[in-house]
Amino acid sequence: MPERISISDFVVLTNEDLSSPGTSSFQSKMSDCRNTVSTVEESLEMDHTTLQRMKKMIKAIHTSGLSHVDIKEQYIEVLENLGNSHLTQDNNEVSTGFLNLAVFTREVTALFKNLVQNLNNIMAFPLENVLKSELRDSRLVRKLEKERKEKTRQLGLIRTEGSDGGEDMERERRTFQLQMCEYLLKIQELKVRQGPDLLQSLIKYFQAQLSFFQDGLKAAENLAPFIEKLAASVHTVITADEEVKQLTQLRDSLRLLLQVEGKENSGNGYSIHQPQGNKKYGTEKSGFLLKKSDGIRKVWQKRKCGVKFGCLTISHSTINRPPAKLNLLTCQVRPNPEDRRTFDLVTHNRTYHFQAEDEQECMIWVSVLQNSKEEALNTALGGDQLHLQDSGLQELSRAIIGELRHMPGQPVIDAVEDNYPTWLSTNLGILTCIECSGIHRELGVHYSRIQSLTLDLLSTSELLLAVSIGNTRFNDIMEAGLPNDSVKPLPQSDMNARKEYIVAKYAERRYVLRREETDPARLYDAVRSRDLTSLLQLYAEGADLAKPLGIKETALHLAVRLEEKSSLALVDFLCQNSNCLEKRTAEGNTALHYSVLHHKPESLKLLLKAKASLHTVNSAGETALDIARRLQHIQCVDLLELAQSGKFNSQIHVEFTWETQSQEFYDSEDDLDERVNNTHTHLAKLIIDFVPLPKKPL
């Protein structure tokens, strides 16, 4: 490492050279002086780079701060406009709130602007001076080195007397010493500017920041009492707005009136005698229609529409949103006699208004919609079901639905003789009428999941609980504590009476006769003995069906592990009502893992239908699909791969002991098909014998 000389050594050597030039050793130390200058120059270069970065950052903070102030001023203008707008509407409290917040924001913004300007004044200008002086000082050493080289060149080319040469050498040393002194003084001055002076500027900026926060806090504390009063008054205004209450009541009355008119205009509902479309236009079509928006402006918007498989799809204006899908079985198509280019599509909760390019195009769309609806209606009433390819399964599903709808002794719902229960709660296994089904929907799917026996294409997996529970068994538990029959609504009871009773029965479970003992083993015993009635009793009492029974194994885990075809309904009930699909055992296994580990493909179907997570891993890091592949359970692998690819059909058939113990068993699906096709009457009797008759559809 090159030798360097300190300032104190330089001073001592220079004084010795001045007092005794002949004996001085300064000449030999001049190289050390030059090494010192080079080292200091390297250090100055690094400091220069750092200070340049600091200058850029301060400039960026200053610029962004001023932009922030400009945006805040626009925000303040918006607050003032809102305040003035409410002032013209005589909303004095609201107006005062907006205006006071605008004043507070303006005060804080002014403080922030002052802080940003202080940053520029306190830091930017001193940094600029430091960087400029540093450039000037760096020229000194270059001048010193240039003069030394020029002097050396002259001494080498011009021969002079010895005395003259000595004088020149001494003069060179004195010039070098003078410039070195000036250089070192400048370096010391720079160190003061880059050190104490720069730090002093930072201290001043800190004091400016402290003043900003103190003044801002003072402004906020001054406004705080007003904000507290404003919050209380705003809450009072919101809760006591009589106009909103009146508008809400008026809206509800209008909705009820429209629903009543819709029912009066609906005729006989979905009969086969609805308007027929021109068959030559077929049942499928796609193209563009104008749809009238539902907002206040009621503008016509161009939308891509398509009719296929009994459904109408309506695309949105944005590509990333999935199109709306309407089941034509629940809609009515109504041409507009006043404007033959337009037609309406009436659903249960709104009316869609469409307009075609011309009358001919409108007539084609109406025909296609009516044809597609007719095709879907024929399918629902017994025609070909595309997703159920096996004819035996089609016959089985239709036979079950038919017997559930027309069981001997089935009570009518109201005075209309042919108005039988046509709606099914798939998670409770009970039937209900159309009026009560609407109340079930209002309760939410966590209480009851409603589907239509006539409009929806139901599979055997969705009829499993209806066959296994039924209204009789369900009511024996849910109405065991009913004071008297007068509490139950009559067929002629209004909707308010029906709703009050249904909420009390299903949501509050007010009429359940609860047992006194709270034995935690009841749930385990019910599942182990495959006793669906006991499980239903625990559900009615509000027991936690997701509570672990041991080694963190839930009732659903145990039901899957012990599943037999005759107990499949137990698994289905827990899948839909226990909220424990993602509960894990001590080994991290979910019920989906269990269905594969114990090779229970029927339980697996029900778990997939209930949307069990496919990607959960156990303690060994395996998903259910990993386990199925490792154990080579081919049927489970196929089902899981279908679900993973999004192709799993939740309307899937499950193998269940549909017959009672007194009936003969069949060894193959071919036998079952033959039995369904050739002995339909026998199957109907079989299901009647097996399924308990519903008492009431409520």
Tokens standing for 501?
């009773």
pLDDT digits (tens, 9 = 90+) for 204-247: 889 989 999 999 999 899 988 888 888 877 777 666 666 777 78
> How far is it, in rounded angstroms, from Cα 602 to Cα 600?
6
Helix, strand, coil distribution of the chain in percent, nearest 5 = 60, 5, 30
> How far is it, in rounded angstroms, from Cα 495 to Cα 695?
20
Whether pLDDT at 451 is above 60: yes
What is the pTM for the complete model shown?
0.43
CB neighbours of residue 25 within 10 Å: 9
Can you name the residues that pair with 292 across neighbouring β-strands?
A: 300
Whether pLDDT at 407 is above 60: no
pLDDT digits (tens, 9 = 90+) for 123-139: 877 777 777 765 445 45
Domain at 279-375: CATH architecture: Roll (2.30)
Residue 561 binned pLDDT confidence (cut-offs 50, 70, 90): very high
- Kindly report, as residue ranges, where domains of CATH 1.25.40.20 are found in the chain: 521-658
- Kindly report, as residue ranges, where domains of CATH 2.30.29.30 are found in the chain: 279-375
Contact indicator for 698, 432 with CB cutoff of 8 Å: yes
Q: Which of 263, 250, 698 is nearest to 443 (CA)?
A: 698
Higher local confidence (pLDDT), 382 or 605:
605
Mean pLDDT score across all residues of the chain: 78
Q: Which of 642, 564, 568, 578 is nearest to 606 (CA)?
A: 568
Whether pLDDT at 676 is above 50: no
CB neighbours of residue 304 within 10 Å: 13
Tokens standing for 544?
């936690």
To the question of domain 521-658 being in CATH 3.40.1010.10, the answer is no
Q: Please give the CATH number for the structural domain made up of 7-239.
A: 1.20.1270.60
> How far is it, in rounded angstroms, from Cα 433 to Cα 413?
7
pLDDT digits (tens, 9 = 90+) for 332-358: 888 988 888 999 988 877 888 999 999
> How far is it, in rounded angstroms, from Cα 87 to Cα 82?
9
